[in-house]
Structure 1
């Protein structure tokens, strides 16, 4: 029930906002009607409408005449046909990117990493773990392995504010020319759950990426775990490849984009 002291419409909008954020009401699901909310909380229809107007102004819901109020899909689109880094993705989506370095140091290359980077198993590589945030909220966790040669170029740089792409390209003239991606669904173990602020066993989107430069030299191998409630991928295909620009090399792929929900 609502408590005295604060305007009732603010308390009601807070309660509805919390229900939406907790996933009680999913995207495009209908909220209780104005009369239902009024009866439940003992408030007038005007109070309910003010609360709903607040949520609509915040972009959390949309209303349809005669049908009611629905949870809005807040995901922001931005493209992935062009190779981009996390900061570029977030900035283009209108979100403020930031990172937290959780680990940065030498480790023996695990078998999967060694194969990807063309190294012997157990070769020393540098591992960089970062929690990636959009508007201050956890969006992803990156675990990146770099050969020592490229890792040493990152020394002295603030890896919470600078990206690997930017450092290598702008400071050392090492362009990241190609990325090979693999996308799959995984469940969060205890470490990932704690890092991303989700329940253990929660579905995550794992994107494995191998980035290369001139001569097909491997710069890094990365595993990025996206919160599945905050990112999805949309794919747009072109049936007639002749309609695509030449840069697409004839592939029937017009757009492939992550969609953020923050």
Structure 2
């Protein structure tokens, strides 16, 4: 697409994206093209694209998750899970005893896709941790987690059988986990996941991708958690504000939490 002279490029690009969103070209919660794709489309730098996206974010037309991209904001405020909890806290809430089997704890070279998420250089060493998460001794979920070496080297591998990354960082090193960005989807279990989770191969799993941050917007880890679909579902509670009109569509999200199925 050719841009016009006399109008700042980022303004034209943000207007084009705004028009596409308003006309339904991008669905609510739909992912926008990447910065590279937009830069190539308009033949501009990524700095210009970032300015255009920042403008739309300031107008609350889109929201962005570092490493995952930019998404169209719908009429609901994008909530993570209302409260940022860890696996053990979720298990305790469900009345189940949490434990984990640490299947991998080693340093690996960060691939390009991960370096963008964790804001580290490609090929630099990061810590990868694979864990089978159990409730009352039964497989509930499987996690693959990647951490910058700065945080990963602080963790006690044996301790992760009974505690969590959150707990070790916060209690042992006063490194708070303050924010999380989540994406939820479905994925079929491959042979390895099926074996770990004790489900048939190609069974549907509930996948949560999340990035968590500490103070200063520093990524602490990126995680892919695969829940057994027969063991967990998410329950939403909406609360209607009394001050709203009778026909108001706004219903603030009061709770969004996992419910574990026995």
Specify the TM-score bucket, using the shorter chain as the normaliser.
Answer: 0.5 to 0.7
Find the counterpart in structure 2 of residue 199 from structure 1.
200
Partner of 1:139: 140
CA distance in 2, matches of 1:147, 1:89: 25
Runs of 5+ consecutive residues of structure 1 not aligned to the other structure? 1-79, 244-249
State the Cα distance separating 1:81 from its structure 2 match: 2.0
TM-score by length of 2: 0.64
- In the alignment, is the contact (CA less than 8 A) between 1:98 and 1:133 conserved in 2? yes
Corresponding residue number in structure 1 for 2:91: 90
Cα 1:251/1:177, change in 2 over 3 Å: farther
Shift of 1:178: 0.5
Instruction: Tell me the equivalent position of 1:257.
Output: 257
Spell out, residue by residue over 1:70-113, the C-alpha distance to the aligned partner (whole angstroms, 9 max, x if none): xxxxxxxxxx4211100011011100111000000011123332
Report the counterpart of residue 102 of structure 2 in structure 1. 101
CA distance in 2 between partners of 1:112 and 1:259 (Å)? 32
Aligned counterparts of 1:123 and 1:206: Cα–Cα separation in 2: 27
Task: Tell me the secondary structure at the aligned position of residue 192 of structure 2.
Answer: helix
What is aligned with 1:190? 191
Listed one character per residue, the Cα deviations across residues 55-84 of structure 1 (whole Å, up to 9, x for unaligned) are xxxxxxxxxxxxxxxxxxxxxxxxx42111
- SS at structure 1 position matched to 2:171: helix
SS in 2 for 1:175: coil
Counterpart of 1:163 in structure 2 is: 164
Please report the RMSD computed on the Cα atoms of aligned residues, expressed in angstroms: 2.1
Q: Which residue of 1 aligns with 2:28?
A: none
Deviation at 1:235, TM superposition (A): 1.6
Deviation above 4 Å: which 4+ runs of structure 1? none
**TM-score, normalised to structure 1's length?**
0.64
- Look up the match of 1:119: 120
Distance 2:140 2:197 in 1: 7
> Deviation at 1:251?
8.2
SS in 1 for 2:161: coil
**Which structure has the greater CA radius of gyration?**
1
Unaligned stretches of 5+ residues in structure 2? 1-80, 245-249
Displacement of 1:155 in angstroms is 3.8
Give the CA deviation at 1:119.
Answer: 1.7
State the match for 1:9 in structure 2: none
Deviation at 1:157, TM superposition (A): 5.3
Over 3 Å counting, the alpha-carbon distance change for 1:105 and 1:188 in structure 2 is same
Q: 1:94 to 1:144 in 2, by over 3 A?
A: same
Relative to structure 1, the CA distance from residue 207 to residue 156 in structure 2 (aligned partners, 3 Å threshold; closer, same or farther) is closer
1:257 Cα shift? Answer: 1.2
How many correspondences in the alignment? 178
* Partner residue, 1:232: 233
- SS of equivalent to 1:153: coil
Give the structure, 1 or 2, with the largest relative contact order (CA under 8 Å, sep 6 or more): 1
CA distance in 1, matches of 2:114, 2:129: 13
Structure 1 residues 156 and 90: CA distance shift in structure 2, 3 A: closer
The structure-2 alpha-carbon separation of the partners of 1:198 and 1:241, relative to structure 1 and needing over 3 Å to count, comes to farther
Does the 8 A contact of 1:100 with 1:160 survive in 2? yes
Q: Which residue of 1 aligns with 2:177?
A: 176
Distance (Å, rounded) in 2 between the aligned partners of 1:154 and 1:234: 32
Whether contact under 8 Å (2:117, 2:222) holds in the other structure is: yes
CA contact (8 A) 1:241 1:251 kept: no
